[in-house]
């Protein structure tokens, strides 16, 4: 009960205190009219309280749970009417209550309705489960009936043998109690989660009632019952337990939508308890001689044997259920479990003011881990990523591995903590991962969306898709920042990414296959192109070079940026071919500019696998020579956060490129962990400061101090400094004052075609 608040505990204790008072009253006061009147009034008050609590539980519940508590409310109302009728007979009319009476009709109505209510508390998703419940119920009913017959019913039958109506009523009470108790036991076996306490209280209430009814039936049979008897306190205890169950049910979490059934521990031993009781007490009462001990011993041995088998089966079933709902590599939730929990969270959101947010995360350039370190190392890395994500969230949040290097986090609670958790997740990647004696810094792209209460018809699939769209937005700009979904992300490239993802999901990969075929055709038939972004000297304002950027003029989807298809390039081993195309196109344009008297250096991005090609320097040198271009007109850019598993080979390749006169630059400097070691270990000519490294220099003194130090350090090493992503004059002026060499960004010009570059260079202007 520790998780329930003080108000709930008070509502539970109140009726129990009343029962204790009644028990003390009956124990001290004994039998009699006064004791009977007090007993009847307290019982009526407790039953009224239980009925109200059940009604409130029904109003706050939903689905099968609402139906169960609604029927239970009607049942408790019938019991209350039965006690009220008894009170009229005994106190107002002052006559002995006949057998049978109108009160008996209400009591039996309660038993029937309570039985129906108990069947509604647990939904069984599988036919096999329902068959097992029927068999368990039949076994428990027979055992309890045998026990009741041995202890009470055979005496009742003998006492009422001549009065058929009295015999029927006398038998209906214990039989109804046995059926109710059976359903309660079976329901408790199948209950999991927050409602287990409430169902346990209901089962206890029915068990107490069964004992009280059986005792009452026996006392009436031998004419020893009188109003105000201590046995009346048992019915009061049952009413109090019904009230407590209703109160606890309102405070407990709403049960999740049934998924794969996992048997509880109670399902192992509860079906055998009635069998043990009937098989031990019964023979010892009705048998004599050695068999009165042998039969119970045999029953005990059989029950123990079956319980052990059931325990072993439960372990196997639980393992299968866990495997079906967990990612086998990381142990996190899999997409099935994540979808179920998201649907449950959205259901709660529709009923109460509850925050639901989804965070989508993808590891940038993770394919390079597989390519360079192998799949085993990549799997170990994913396990470590899963641990860090799980450590970054709150208890109750759900972390799932959706596919490959894609993860999702469900955040649900009374308030929106998505921003706080998202930044904790991002910070978890600031420390490098240790894999095969190497420090690897992974950078995630993170998108998050919060299910707004202004959209009541929002469905779980839309919420998850929005988080993925926000994550794609972060990936397109290679941003460390957490991107929160906005409507404009559906436009332009965001809309294209969403369309491709939806088509892939709806067509089972057909859209991806179609896109791959079109990509191969574009590669084979000169269908890819490049555009160029100017690089401007911050000291003179002149254009001193360009960066070549890949584009795919798709005939059906429009011009695609690399993010829309670069995954296919990597997956299908097309990196080298695409790199050759970009190099040829860029050098062809550089040669045309040269023929026009325009000396324009070109920077070209290289993927990590290209740096393992030992003949790469000679291929590039030959490409320059055949076009009559000087080697220093070409700069190769490598991304600073790329995983480089073979530094010896990479360093040798870069050294030979420089030996041929080709310049080497580190792109996105400041976005990864190994920045300073790259400056120390790699032969480079140029450092390109990452846009997110540069952006805060005019507003953040600490960021400005770091950038100043990097500029001074690289100048001391004889390295040129290029600042990327400059979008305003203030940033440009600051960089100029602090001796940054070259600027690149929308302030100086967006990516344009080769002809526009020639016009801009000759006119001395930039767009």
- Residues identified as active-site: 724
Torsion of CA 157, 163, 164, 166, to 10 degrees: -70
Residue corresponding to tokens 């993010």:
563
Residues contacting residue 276 through CB under 8 Å, at least 6 positions apart = 299, 300, 303
Residues contacting residue 116 through CB under 8 Å, at least 6 positions apart = 71, 75
What is the distance between the alpha carbons of residues 469 and 445, in angstroms, rounded to a whole number?
A: 11
Residue 393: alpha-carbon gap to chain centroid: 11
Which residues are registered as beta bridge partners of 483?
Answer: 447
In the 8-state DSSP scheme, what is residue 96?
P
- Angle, CA of 67, 106 and 177, to the nearest 5°: 70
Contact 757, 533 (CB under 8 A): no
Tokens found for residue 460: 């779980």
| Cα distances (angstroms) measured from residue 533 to each of 543, 545, 546, 747 | 10, 9, 5, 11
What is the distance between the alpha carbons of residues 213 and 175, in angstroms, rounded to a whole number?
A: 10
Candidates 340, 336, 392, 331; CA nearest to 361 is: 392
Phi, psi angle pair for 403, to nearest 5°: -170, 135
What is the distance between the alpha carbons of residues 520 and 753, in angstroms, rounded to a whole number?
A: 23
What is the distance between the alpha carbons of residues 649 and 485, in angstroms, rounded to a whole number?
A: 42
Tokens found for residue 431: 């420390």
Candidates 216, 463, 269; CA nearest to 359 is: 463
What Rg, from alpha-carbon coordinates, does the chain have?
39
State the burial class of residue 755 (Cβ atoms within 10 Å of its Cβ: 0-12, 13-18, 19+): exposed
Residues contacting residue 698 through CB under 8 Å, at least 6 positions apart = 704, 730, 731, 734
Pairing mode, strands 444-450 and 483-484: parallel
Q: How many CA atoms lie within 13 A of 729 on its CB side?
A: 0
Residue corresponding to tokens 């001395």:
764
Tokens found for residue 388: 């860090």
Tokens found for residue 166: 């009295």
Contact 376, 436 (CB under 8 A): no
What is the distance between the alpha carbons of residues 698 and 692, in angstroms, rounded to a whole number?
A: 12
Please report, for the chain, how many H helices and E strands are present, in that order.
28, 16
Residue corresponding to tokens 């287990």:
196
Residues contacting residue 441 through CB under 8 Å, at least 6 positions apart = 429, 432, 433, 641, 672, 673, 674
Q: Residues for the chain: how many in total?
A: 767
Helix (H) or strand (E) holding 695: none
């Amino acid at each position: 009960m520790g998780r329930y608040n003080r108000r709930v505990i008070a509502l539970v204790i109140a009726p129990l205190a009343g029962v204790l008072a009644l028990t003390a009253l009956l124990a001290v006061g004994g039998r009699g009219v006064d004791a009977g009147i007090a007993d009847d009034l307290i019982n009526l008050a407790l039953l009224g309280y239980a009925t109200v609590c059940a009604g409130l539980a029904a109003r706050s519940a939903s689905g099968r749970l609402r139906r169960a508590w609604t029927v239970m409310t009607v049942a408790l109302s019938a019991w209350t009417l039965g006690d009220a009728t008894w009170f009229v007979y005994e106190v107002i009319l002052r006559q002995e209550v006949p057998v049978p009476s109108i009160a008996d009709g209400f009591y039996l109505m309660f038993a029937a309705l309570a039985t129906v209510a108990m069947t509604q508390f647990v939904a069984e998703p599988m036919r096999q489960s329902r068959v097992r419940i029927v068999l368990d119920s039949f076994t428990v009913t027979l055992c309890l009936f045998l026990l009741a017959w041995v202890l009470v019913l055979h005496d009742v039958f003998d006492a009422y043998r001549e009065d058929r109506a009295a015999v029927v009523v006398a038998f209906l009470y214990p039989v109804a109690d046995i059926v109710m108790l059976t359903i309660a036991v079976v329901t408790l076996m199948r209950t999991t989660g927050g409602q287990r306490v409430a169902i346990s209280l209901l089962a206890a209430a029915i068990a107490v009632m069964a004992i009280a009814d059986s005792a009452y039936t026996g006392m009436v049979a031998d004419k020893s019952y009188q109003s105000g008897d201590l046995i009346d306190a048992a019915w009061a205890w049952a009413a109090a337990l019904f009230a407590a169950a209703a109160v606890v049910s309102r405070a407990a979490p709403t049960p999740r939508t049934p998924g794969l059934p996992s048997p509880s521990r109670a399902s192992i031993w509860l079906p055998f308890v009635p069998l043990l009781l009937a098989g031990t007490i019964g023979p010892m009462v009705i048998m004599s001689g050695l068999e009165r001990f042998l039969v119970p011993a045999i029953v005990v041995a059989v029950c123990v044997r079956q319980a052990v088998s059931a325990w072993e089966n439960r372990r196997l079933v639980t393992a299968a259920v866990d495997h079906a709902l967990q990612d086998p590599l990381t142990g996190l939730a899999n997409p099935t479990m994540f979808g179920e929990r998201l649907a449950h969270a959205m259901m709660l959101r529709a009923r109460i003011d509850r925050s639901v947010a989804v965070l989508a995360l993808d590891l940038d350039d993770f394919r390079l881990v597989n390519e360079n370190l192998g799949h085993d190392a990549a799997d170990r890395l994913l396990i470590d990523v899963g641990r860090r994500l799980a450590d970054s969230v709150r208890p109750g949040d759900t972390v799932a591995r959706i596919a490959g290097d894609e993860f999702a986090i469900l955040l649900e609670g009374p308030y929106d903590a998505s921003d706080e958790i998202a930044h904790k997740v991002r910070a978890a990647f600031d420390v490098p991962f240790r894999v095969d004696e190497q420090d690897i810094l992974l950078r995630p792209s993170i998108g998050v969306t919060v299910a707004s209460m202004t959209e009541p018809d929002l469905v779980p699939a839309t919420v998850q898709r929005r988080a993925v769209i926000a994550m794609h937005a972060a990936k397109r700009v290679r941003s460390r920042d957490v991107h929160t979904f906005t409507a404009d992300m559906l436009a332009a490239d965001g809309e294209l990414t969403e369309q491709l993802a939806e088509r892939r999901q709806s067509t089972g990969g057909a859209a991806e296959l179609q896109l791959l075929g079109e990509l191969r055709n574009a590669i084979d038939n000169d269908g890819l192109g490049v555009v160029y972004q100017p690089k401007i000297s911050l000291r003179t304002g002149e254009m001193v070079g360009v960066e070549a950027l890949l584009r795919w003029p798709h005939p059906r989807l429009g011009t695609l940026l690399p993010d829309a298809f670069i995954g296919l390039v990597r997956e299908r081993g097309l990196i080298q071919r695409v790199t050759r195309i970009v190099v040829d196109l860029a050098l062809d344009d550089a040669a045309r500019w040269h023929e026009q008297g325009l000396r324009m250096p070109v920077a070209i991005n290289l993927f990590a696998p290209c740096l393992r090609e030992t003949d790469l320097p000679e291929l590039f040198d030959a490409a320059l020579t055949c076009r009559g271009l000087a080697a220093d007109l070409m700069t190769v850019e490598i991304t600073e956060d790329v995983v480089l598993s073979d530094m010896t080979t990479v360093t040798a390749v870069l050294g030979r490129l420089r030996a041929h006169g080709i310049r080497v630059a580190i792109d996105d400097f400041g976005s990864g962990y190994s920045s300073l070691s790259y400056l120390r270990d790699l032969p480079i000519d140029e450092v390109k400061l990452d846009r997110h490294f540069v952006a805060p220099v005019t507003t953040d003194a600490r960021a400005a101090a770091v950038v100043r130090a990097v500029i001074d350090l690289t100048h001391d090493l004889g390295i040129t400094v290029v600042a990327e992503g400059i979008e305003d004059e203030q940033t440009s002026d600051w960089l100029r004052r602090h001796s940054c060499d070259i600027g690149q960004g929308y302030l100086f010009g967006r990516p344009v075609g080769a002809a526009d570059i020639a016009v801009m260079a000759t006119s001395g202007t930039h767009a």
